[in-house]
Amino acid sequence: MQTAISYLDQIPHVLGPLIVVALRFAAALLAFVPSSPLSLAAGASYGLLSGTLFVLIGAEVGALAAFLVGRKFGSRFVARRGWVEGIARTGAGRWLLEVDASQNRLMLAVLYCRLLPGLNLDGLSYVAGLTPIATWRFCLATFAGLLPYTLFLVGTGELIKRGLPGEQLGPVLVLILVALVVPPGWKIAQRWLWPRAIAQEGAACS
C-alpha cells in the first residue's frame, strides 16, 4: 500500500485521479485483481470524499462493462471462469440465477451479493449479465452495494495516513454512520422490499 501511495503522490494532480479510475475499472473488468489496496491508497492520497468518488466511478463503469460483456458473450464465456458456481453457493446468488425471477428480485439479489463478504464482486457483474435484469437496475444495485464497502476502505486509507482519532474526526464519523445505516437498511430491505418481490413474482405466475 505504501508503494501505491508514494506512486500516486508523485503523479500530477490531474493524472492521479484518472489513474485511480482506470485501475479500478481494470480491476472490475479483469475480476481477479484485488481492488482493496487501490481504495486504501486513494483514501490516503485524496481523502475520503474525492477518493471515494474516483474509486466508485471506476468500479461502476467497470462493473457495467463486465455486465455487458457477460450479456454479449453468454453463459459459456462466464461459466468457463467458475464465477457461476461461486455465486450459486450463496442464497442471494441463487435468487440471481432463478430463471423466472422478477426484476425486483434480481435487483435485490445483486445488492445482497454486493454486500456479502468473500464473494467475487467483479465476477458477479459477468454473472448478472446472463440474467434478464434491466441494465439500469443492475447499475443502481451495484452502486448501492459498492458504496458502504468503498467508503470504509477509502476512509481507512485516509486514517492510516493521517493518524487515528484526534486529527481526523470527520472520516471516523462517516465510517460510524455507514456502520449504523447499513444494518438497518438490510433489515428494511428484508422486511419490505423482499416481500414485495415475492408478491410480484407470485402475481406474475398466477
Please, what is the average pLDDT of the chain? 78
Q: Which cell is 24 given?
A: 479500478
* Integer-rounded Cα radius of gyration of the chain: 18
Q: How confident is the model at residue 137 (pLDDT cuts 50, 70, 90)?
A: very high
Q: Angle at which helices 194-205 and 103-115 pack, to 10 degrees? A: 150
Q: What does the pLDDT look like over 8-66, one tens digit per residue?
A: 556 656 787 888 999 999 988 886 667 888 888 888 888 889 999 999 999 999 999 99
Boundaries of domain holding 25: 2-205
What pLDDT does 130 receive? 92
Q: One-letter amino acid identity for 17?
A: P
Q: Angle at which helices 135-162 and 103-115 pack, to 10 degrees? A: 20
Q: What does the pLDDT look like over 68-113, one tens digit per residue?
A: 999 998 888 887 777 788 788 888 788 888 888 899 989 999 998 8
What pLDDT does 180 receive? 47
CA proximity to 73, closest of 140, 149, 127, 145: 127
DSSP 8-state assignment for residue 192: I
Q: Tell me which residue has cell 441463487.
A: 94
Is the Cβ–Cβ distance between 152 and 175 less than 8 Å? Answer: yes
